[in-house]
Amino acid sequence: MAIPDSTLPQTYTQPERQRGRGRIFHRVGSPYYWCAYYLRAKEFRESTHTTDLKKAQKFLDRRLKAVGADQIGKGPFVGPQQERLTINQLLDALEADYRIRGVNSPQFHSHLAHVRAHFGFQRAVDVTDEMIDEYIEQRRAAGAKNATINRSTQPLRQAYQLAIDRKRLTSMPKIRRLDESDNVRQGYFEANEFRCVVSHLPEYLQDFALYSYLTGWRKNSVANLSWSAVNDGGILLPAKYWKGREPQFMPIEGELADIFERRRAARAVRTESGIILTDLVFHRDGRRVGDFRKAWSTGCRLTGVSGRLFHDLCRCCARNLDKAGVPRRVAMEVMGRKTESIYLRYRIVDSAEKRTALRQVQKYLRDVGLSAESPTTAAAAIQ
């Protein structure tokens, strides 16, 4: 027998409800019918966005069908809150996570800007594999390399995964990682070129660049180096500031000692409230060194080596260590590179080294009496 409900219009009679079939009701202040249903002992309530009872019932039936598919493992249920999540909201949560973990960077925000511009207010559950591929094709058409595109799609993948871990989403589209095998850069500085670039940098960047040149440390690791990590024996950089997520130790020897002597002298910073001692070894008026691409580009241009990257200093360090005869394992520890394959990406071999190698081979052949011999003479010698 039907049970009247005073909250529904007088023309509406609520039918007998069966267990597991949900219900339709009116919510005070809303002109639309609402529906309610259960999944795993949790009630979901949402508007059907219609004033037509038959359409509202069809809306509820679709929801119950999705609930049933989830229960038998045919597909994950996407609830109303999940449906409303946008890509912007996913990226906002990822940015907050980066800030909490202390791994925020201008480059990270630059990569997110491309994703926001393309997907922005798109609902996260509506993004398909094909839409991701379309984004990749558009970036390629605009001249972006595979590595650059990967730097944008990686945080998008991380944002989806974070939402799944927090149970805000149940699935994500396939976000392919493009091949970067052709992305091995060959840029490096000769010693005189680097010293000249340093002379054209702002004062706050000179020791910053020199430290990276001598140690091969990445920009973010150098920028986060604090005096609390420095003692008489050397430097112990906490794991959270290192890409490999392991603490990194660096003895203070040679020119590094000169750098730290200058940095101690520059530790006092004058502010409106007086002089303070900053905890950052490398700083700009007491603040963390941020984006300095313009200053770096100017220094390279004035030196006549435009197009070089700050990250090329890591390649300089690898070459210097190798040419100085430092054992490979020790060189990897100095630079903080975990595997030899990664280290070798930085060890650039130039034409002068190849020429020297060929000369050494020719000397060896002369020493064993095989140089400039004809094949016939060599065969006779073997017999």
Count: domains in the chain? 4
What CATH number should be reported for the domain holding residue 157?
1.10.150.130
For residue 176, being part of any structural domain is answered with no
Q: Are 220 and 315 in contact (CB under 8 A)?
A: no
Segment 161-185 mean pLDDT: 80
Q: What is the DSSP string of 282-293?
A: SEETTEEP---H
CB atoms within 10 A of CB 111: 20
Segment 294-313 mean pLDDT: 89
Percent of the chain residues topping a pLDDT of 90: 23
Confidence (pLDDT) at 370: 64
pLDDT in tens, 87-133: 998 999 999 998 888 777 777 888 888 999 998 888 888 899 999 99
Q: Which range marks the domain in which residue 234 is found?
A: 208-346
Q: Do both 257 and 331 map to the same domain?
A: yes
Outline where DSSP puts E strands in 238-351: 248-251, 268-271, 274-277, 283-284, 287-288
For residue 183, being part of any structural domain is answered with no
pLDDT in tens, 183-241: 556 567 788 888 999 999 999 999 999 999 988 888 888 888 889 888 877 877 766 66
CB atoms within 10 A of CB 152: 20
For residue 377, being part of any structural domain is answered with yes
Q: Do both 38 and 94 map to the same domain?
A: no
For residue 363, being part of any structural domain is answered with yes
Q: Do both 9 and 134 map to the same domain?
A: no
Q: Which residues contact 50 (CB under 8 A, 6 or more apart)?
A: 32, 33, 56, 59
Could you give the 3-state DSSP secondary structure of residue 39?
A: strand
Confidence (pLDDT) at 184: 54
Q: For residue 339, how far is the Cα from the chain centroid?
A: 20
pLDDT band of residue 262 (cuts 50, 70, 90) is very high
Confidence (pLDDT) at 316: 86
For residue 255, being part of any structural domain is answered with yes
Could you give the 3-state DSSP secondary structure of residue 86?
A: strand
For residue 178, being part of any structural domain is answered with no
Q: Are 149 and 139 in contact (CB under 8 A)?
A: yes
For residue 345, which phi and psi values (nearest 5 degrees)?
Answer: -65, -25
Cα three-residue angle 38-41-45, rounded to 5 degrees: 35
Q: Do both 72 and 105 map to the same domain?
A: no
Report residue 345 as tokens: 């990406």
Outline where DSSP puts E strands in the chain: 23-26, 33-39, 42-47, 234-237, 248-251, 268-271, 274-277, 283-284, 287-288
Confidence (pLDDT) at 71: 79
Q: Do both 125 and 52 map to the same domain?
A: no
For residue 230, which phi and psi values (nearest 5 degrees)?
Answer: -105, 135
